[in-house]
Structure 1
């Protein structure tokens, strides 16, 4: 059944409204709705830290401000982009979550990053997170999601 012109117009308007609300979505919800975010643009687009983009059907978070280049796609530039991970869609399976690795200053964890460390699952509460999850004094930068 085809939509009428008025129905199509209403659908376009609703999608536009959802897209304006997309930046306020939590990482787990946003990662299930990557299509609401602008597609990655490799032609000199200025990206801000924390900005989220859709790329190859996945959601990525900008780690550091930069002007894009064609060869700096999210999958090719891990120092610039981190894939948003939806822990909930993993069915709570910690083995589907990447193991925490000590980041360098060029590849910190973004706000919303989900990692496994010492048998637990952690979510980064801040951008440019270089601290070890669970270490003393990191209560304001990592939140324990669940035990693994």
Structure 2
């Protein structure tokens, strides 16, 4: 995707504002703007646990400290990287709440996260939520959000 000169200038201004602050962004905010994070480097880069990188337009968190190798990309090495999942918050307008994605144990939804699933909006009632909203037996971990 090519940007106009004006769009590119605006993007650079936004990045300049957040330069150095990206690591402190919450995961729900960070997941929406992976371009603020350094691209994954598979050429012997030393990564620390918790460090976030952009890879193929998606944000990932390093699960354990390691020195990168070309074949240890975030999509190829799930023991080293976890995709940061997008989630809304109670303040997120319903139409902007992202779709639910099945998390792993390495990237669960936090308490209060809001997602859309099967045409409904759900809010996580627990931290580290990996269960499917609305599935049988999940009444204590998700609640359906009713607006109005």
Normalised to the residue count of structure 2, the TM-score between the two structures is 0.61
Q: Deviations over 1:85-117 (max 9, x none)?
A: 011289557x723155xx5xxxxx26xx428xx
1:33/1:99 CA distance change after superposition, 3 Å: closer
Q: Which residue of 2 aligns with 1:82?
A: 82
Q: Which residue of 1 aligns with 2:31?
A: 31
Q: Which residue of 1 aligns with 2:143?
A: 147
Tell me the distance in 1 between the aligned counterparts of 2:79 and 2:62: 9
Q: CA deviation at 1:17?
A: 3.3
Q: Across the two proteins, how many residue pairs are aligned to each other?
A: 115
Q: Which runs of 5+ in 1 are unaligned?
A: 104-108, 125-131, 134-143
Structure with the largest fraction of helix:
1
Work out which structure has the larger RCO, using CA pairs closer than 8 Å and 6 or more positions apart in sequence.
1
What is the RMSD of the two structures over their aligned residues, measured on CA atoms? Answer: 3.7
Q: Secondary structure at the match of 2:18?
A: helix
Normalised to the residue count of structure 1, the TM-score between the two structures is 0.61
1:62/1:2 CA distance change after superposition, 3 Å: closer
Tell me the distance in 2 between the aligned counterparts of 1:99 and 1:23: 22
Tell me the distance in 1 between the aligned counterparts of 2:66 and 2:51: 11
Q: Which runs of 5+ in 2 are unaligned?
A: 111-121, 131-139
